[in-house]
Amino acid sequence: MNTCATFKYYGWSSIGLETQDGVLLFDPFYRPYCGAEWFHLEDFCQANYICVTHGHEEHFLDVPALAKATGATVIGAPPLCRFMKRRHKFDASKLKPIDPAGFETISMPGFKITALPWKHRDINLVKALTKAVFHGNTTQLAWAWSSATNAPFYSPYTGFHIELPDGTTILNYNEGFNSKMTNAEIKALGARFRTDVLLAGMQLDFIDDVVRGVLALAPKTVILYPPHEKFHEMMGVTSKPWSDFAGAVRARCPETIVHVAQPGFQLELSPGSVPTQFRQAA
């Protein structure tokens, strides 16, 4: 069977894209965290490129160790790359800054990569620290303190549009499906980018926002993944059922193939981005 790309979901926001030209990872994260440990360092060691969407700890903390173990090139917003160089002593040759505000494009062997901006739901780190101390919430305190000291929390939120040599396009919009994004902003992205496969974070009650994004970007296939499932459980926050997200997208976008990813999910695409097969790990 002729396959142009294979996707694998590792939990959190960690997604692998494997082609004959190499392996590109988004936000690899594998350490035990919030009671979850789905994969380990060795499961990511095939990486050639690492794209980082932003500097929150569950997106970033394992990137330096993995990049050093594999020699992979790290691609992210300029402040994130500066943090890697300053804090972790990375050589500039292993860092590829890419500006989402300017829709900057870089080309790596087998991958044309364009950065795009998105907006995160509101997080006030100072408020989170204060609240955690006041209420004695050690989990939230540890997260807020680690985010403030060990990760480039301030790095711009970055989506990635990937074009493969056969013309297949993938857009990872990460956590941008929320009420902060306006209809005009989302429609502008749809007008700018052709998207065959959309990687879409789903969380909380942002069902309508996921639907807005899928309608605007009009992908052939969408992979829905929960970027904060275990973190929210630890914090006592509840999201709408994943089946509700999938059902809403299918109802409004009947031509789009929808998958809900759990850790271990894999999807193979044939040339032209037509899904050939997928399986969910037991």
CATH code of the domain in which 187 resides:
3.60.15.10
Neighbour-count burial of 32, counting CB atoms closer than 10 A to its CB (0-12 exposed, 13-18 middle, 19+ buried): exposed
Query: What is the 3-state composition of the chain as percent helix, strand, coil, each rounded to the nearest 5?
Result: 35, 25, 40
Measure the CA–CA gap between 121 and 142, rounded to whole angstroms: 20
Measure the CA–CA gap between 91 and 155, rounded to whole angstroms: 19
Q: Which regions in the chain score pLDDT beneath 50? A: 1, 124-125, 133-135, 274-282
Q: What is the pLDDT of residue 277?
A: 45
Q: Which residues pair with 275 in a beta bridge?
A: 269
Q: What is the pLDDT of residue 88?
A: 96
Q: What is the pLDDT of residue 79?
A: 97
Q: What is the pLDDT of residue 278?
A: 44
Say if residues 197 and 233 touch (Cβ distance below 8 Å): no
Tell me which residue range forms the domain holding 208: 5-279
Q: What is the pLDDT of residue 141?
A: 66
pLDDT tens column, 204-213: 999 999 999 9
